[in-house]
Amino acid sequence: MAVTKISRISRWALYAMSAVTIVLIALFFLAGNVLPENQIPQLVGLVEPNFTDILLYWVYVLLGITILSVIVFSLVGFVNNLKYSRRRAINSLVTLAIFAVLLIFAYSIGDGTPLNILGYEGPDNVKGMLKLTDMWLYTIYILMALTILAMLFSPLIKRIGKRK
């Protein structure tokens, strides 16, 4: 009974997040651009879609939910599996370890070269912050690619498993 309730809640959460994402992407591409009089004077003439900030914040929210979910479900799986099988409990921690390795890898390939940004004098154009930003971007790209690969190969793996 509890599994169907969890399944139903997660399905509706997926539908809601997908709907918000679709609406924000549509607004980003179809709602026009920032007017030149509202832009930073040094950037007048460059094209900036109206809903760029909102779309970026939504991506940050989704990334935060993903990271929080990985950590929480791995720890809950570890605690639940520790009662019955130490091997399964260790497998739950392996998920966290792989995620940590992914973050370290993404941080190490990030570029910390300060950017030449017209009109920006803020404190975020430093090596550490730029590498951190690259880490999150690369993590998003890698997780997106792994999700797509999982969707593509999951039916194939299930078929191979049924044949044995």
pLDDT at 27 over 90: yes
pLDDT at 159 over 80: no
The domain of 79 spans: 31-163
- Residue 38's H or E segment, with its range, is none
d(CA 107, CA 136): 8
Domain membership flag for residue 99: yes
Domain membership flag for residue 122: yes
State the pLDDT at residue 44: 63
Which is higher by pLDDT, 35 or 164?
35
Domain membership flag for residue 73: yes
pLDDT at 45 over 70: no
Domain membership flag for residue 153: yes
- Residue 74's H or E segment, with its range, is helix 52-84
Domain membership flag for residue 123: yes
Give tens-digit pLDDT for 118-127: 777 778 888 9
135 confidence band (pLDDT: 50, 70, 90): very high
Which is higher by pLDDT, 1 or 38?
38
With tokens 């520790």, the residue in question is: 82
2 confidence band (pLDDT: 50, 70, 90): low
State the pLDDT at residue 21: 95
**Which amino acid appears at position 118 of this protein?**
L
Return the C-alpha torsion angle 50, 55, 57, 60, nearest 10. -160
Domain membership flag for residue 67: yes
Domain membership flag for residue 16: no
20 confidence band (pLDDT: 50, 70, 90): very high
pLDDT at 132 over 70: yes
The packing angle between helices 86-109 and 127-163, to 10°, is 140
Give tens-digit pLDDT for 75-106: 888 888 888 888 888 887 888 889 899 999 99
Domain membership flag for residue 11: no
Work out how many domains the chain is built from and give that number: 1
d(CA 125, CA 71): 30
The secondary structure of residue 39, as a DSSP letter, is: S
The secondary structure of residue 113, as a DSSP letter, is: P
